[in-house]
Amino acid sequence: MEIMDEFSTQLKLEGRDNETLIDYRLTLVDILAHLCEIYRSSMNR
């Protein structure tokens, strides 16, 4: 979460809105879910 806070601060300094940050958060959640699914499927073998 610290990384996302730093990224949010950087976006504000660049004059961008938080909608860009929301897109990145959704992508990050999707990546984490995918990695968890891979881990879970590897444990079943």
N- to C-terminal Cα separation, the chain: 32
> What average pLDDT does the segment 8-30 reach?
80
pTM: 0.56
Cα(22)–Cα(4) distance, rounded to whole angstroms? Answer: 10
Residues 10-43, buried b or exposed e (16+ Cβ, 10 A)? ebeeeeeeeeebeeeeeeeeeeeeeeeeeeeeee
> What average pLDDT does the segment 12-27 reach?
79
What is the token pair recorded at 31?
């990546």
> What average pLDDT does the segment 3-10 reach?
78
